[in-house]
Structure 1
Amino acid sequence: MPDENTDSLRPPPPTGWRRRIARAPLLLFRAGLGPLLGRRLLLLHHTGRVSGQDRRVVLEVVAYEPDSPAWTVASGFGAGADWYRNLGADPKTVLQFGNRHHAVTARFLSAEDGAAIMEEYGARRPRTARRLCAFMGLPSDGSASALRRAGRAIPFVRLESDPPRRLESDPPRPFV
């Protein structure tokens, strides 16, 4: 996990009209329009550590592996973000990707894994990576070494799809 010094440099979460704009994709998911957001965003359900209530947040997908399936997301507001801390307390959850729901387990990635992910993300989306680093107060000129440094400072989470569970009431499936 990133150190506290790095988290203190991060901008505070948006308030007022900026918060409303940042939360607009959540309204699209609630209206059943998640597929309009493509493969860049997902809706993560998480359980509040204190309240025990269902919470939701829309996150950008940094990497997607359709074969597993697995999604990698980053906490732009650091390890102190509520959704990040909630997953630390209860890593089993559900996400919505398009119109499909997936049971997933959160796995927190190491700083070195984050460095490799950010370098690859910067190669695919250089402009977005530079803007993300600037927003978070991290220096990045777009070079691989700067992106790797930024990736070490950003907490990444891999959301791995859980295998479907077979209920005892389900009849055995015949071999075909």
Structure 2
Amino acid sequence: MRNEDTEAGRPPLPEGWRRKLARAPVLLFRVGLGPLLGRRFLLLHHTGRVSGLDRRVVLEVVAYERDSRAWTVASGFGPRADWYRNLRGQPKTVLQFGNRHHAVTARFLAPEDGAAIMEKYGARHPRTARRLCAFMRLPSDGSVTALRRAGRAIPFVRLESESCPREAADRS
């Protein structure tokens, strides 16, 4: 376990068999079975800060705006998560949602925006929100106050599509 990950009160990054289990959804996307995970997950491609290699991570979609093709995701391991740090360095990337790929730009949301997002998420998925807060070692009673406090502590990223597929189809 790396000390830097637990210093800020964040959960430790998974290691060993837990890491392999956490990475299993990436394999589902690679073999074309990403849609089995439903519309609550996406595969995010990001470029390693040091290596420059293509990296992939499956993230839960906290909010999806169909009309503007924008996805909001949260960094459950805080700002020290590799994918989050990589997007900070190179915000233009690609994601896979279902079997479709989208060119996106990452926009890092303010803590107050995160509070509003977490409040809405908690209303839609109360049990999952409580579990997420407990996992992150944040108050987890499910109250609006606790959800807003957690939303301020969790880094949220909005992935905005470069062009809406419907608009591209209209131009052809």
TM over 0.5: yes
For the pair shown, which has the larger CA radius of gyration, 1 or 2?
1
Other-structure match for 2:62? 62
Which secondary structure state, in structure 1, belongs to the residue aligned with residue 80 of structure 2? coil
* Matches for 1:16-165 after TM superposition, within 5 Å: 16-163=16-163
More helix by share: 2
- 2: distance between equivalents of 1:120 and 1:66? 17
Q: Does 1:14 align with 2:3?
A: no
Which secondary structure state, in structure 2, belongs to the residue aligned with residue 23 of structure 1? helix
Change (3 A) 1:137 1:118: same
Shift of 1:140: 1.9
Which secondary structure state, in structure 2, belongs to the residue aligned with residue 39 of structure 1? helix
Deviations 1:57-114 (A, max 9, x none): 0000000011110000000000010100000000000000000000000000000000
Other-structure match for 2:168? none
Change (3 A) 1:87 1:146: same
- 2: distance between equivalents of 1:132 and 1:118? 11
Other-structure match for 2:167? none
Shift of 1:158: 0.1
- 2: distance between equivalents of 1:68 and 1:7? 38
Paired residues, number: 162
Shift of 1:12: 1.1
Which secondary structure state, in structure 2, belongs to the residue aligned with residue 158 of structure 1? strand
Shift of 1:7: 6.7
Contact 1:7/1:77, CA 8 A, preserved across alignment: no
Runs (4+) off by over 2 Å? none
- 2: distance between equivalents of 1:7 and 1:45? 28
* TM-score for both structures, normalised by structure 2: 0.91
- 1: distance between equivalents of 2:79 and 2:86? 10
- 2: distance between equivalents of 1:130 and 1:41? 19
* Percent of paired sites with the same residue: 82
Which secondary structure state, in structure 1, belongs to the residue aligned with residue 73 of structure 2? strand
- 1: distance between equivalents of 2:60 and 2:45? 14
Consecutive unaligned residues in structure 1, runs of 5 or more: 165-172
Other-structure match for 1:169? none
Shift of 1:163: 2.0
- 1: distance between equivalents of 2:90 and 2:52? 10
- 2: distance between equivalents of 1:163 and 1:34? 22
Aligned partner of 1:75: which letter?
Answer: S
